[in-house]
Amino acid sequence: MERKVFSHYTWALVSFVQYEEMSSLKIKEMELGPIATNAFLLWRDGMTQAVLVDAPPNCAQEVNNALAKENLTLSEIWLTHGHWDHMAGADELNKEGIRIIGHIDDQIMFEQPSIMANFAIPGINMDPIEVTHWVKEGEVLDFFGSPVEVRHCPGHCPGNIAFWFKDDSCCFVGDVIFRESVGRYDLPGGDFEKLEVSIQEKIYSLPPETKLLVGHGPPTTVSHEMQSNPFVRPKSL
């Protein structure tokens, strides 16, 4: 059976910005870059620092404007994976003291991004990104006093990771899954069988009410995808 997968490699000429609140977790969602990649600026009430999840190309102005508006400084950049549309803007934002997080299975894309030239938009900045902390499956990050679990979800690419905010019932998943679709697996390092296992074991195992904030397109929930995603079904069904 032919699988039609959400293709996010299309042009987007405008940026879309949306505010959300989840308990005391503040989220500013920004749809940025030439193929409409979602980036998320995260902070907590009363805090002066923020974390950015993913850094699309040429995102610096939008991110810096958001930081200034909220009187925040950027302390960390968490990259869900090494594809150019999720990390190429990190170099512009990288200042002394900013920690950049990624998974070592995507190390070659972070450090030698020119290898992605055959599937990147021409003219995109492809400078190497220096990841300062390589995370592992099950590692717990500290988000201003609350735990965030790292879930390694290969299949779209070797090093895709998800960041699960258990206390806030949300998870930032990169390109492993989209609303009623899944990430591409036809790019170098992609593998549908691994993607399927990642979704079944790392995404569908989250509490059903967990909100999934995805790399492209609108958010969804674990329960909705378990019921409606046509590409990956839960193991028990």
List, for residues 148-171, the tens digit of each pLDDT value.
Answer: 999 999 999 999 999 999 999 999
- CB-based contacts of 24, cutoff 8 Å, min separation 6: 44, 45
Q: What is the number of domains present in the chain?
A: 1
Q: Beta-carbon neighbour count of residue 184 at 10 Å?
A: 20
Reduced to 3 states (helix: H, G, I; strand: E, B; else coil), residue 200 is helix
Domain assignment present for residue 126? The answer is yes
Distance in angstroms (rounded) separating the CA atoms of residues 225 and 185? 18
pLDDT tens digit string along 95-119?
Answer: 878 999 999 999 999 999 999 999 9
Residue 4 domain-assigned? no
Mean pLDDT of the chain: 91
Q: pLDDT of 50-101, one tens digit each?
A: 999 999 999 999 999 999 999 999 999 999 999 999 999 999 998 878 999 9
Is the residue at 84 inside a domain?
yes
User: Does residue 47 lie in a domain region?
Assistant: yes
> Do the domain assignments include residue 1?
no
Question: Which pLDDT score, from 0 to 100, does residue 115 have?
Answer: 96
The model's pTM is 0.91
Residue 10 lies in a domain: no
**Per-residue pLDDT band at 8 (split at 50, 70, 90):** very low
The helix (H) or strand (E) run that includes residue 90 is helix 90-93
Domain range for residue 196? 16-228
> Does residue 33 sit within a domain?
yes
- CATH number of the domain at 206, please: 3.60.15.10
Q: Tell me the C-alpha distance between 54 and 88, whole Å.
A: 9
CA dist 128 → 91, 155, 156 (Å): 8, 23, 21
- Nearest CA among 97, 104, 107, 82 for reference residue 215: 82
Asked, for residue 5, whether it belongs to a domain, the answer is: no
The rounded distance, in Å, linking the Cα atoms of 95 and 90 is: 10
Tokens read off for 169: 């019932």
3 state DSSP class of 113: helix
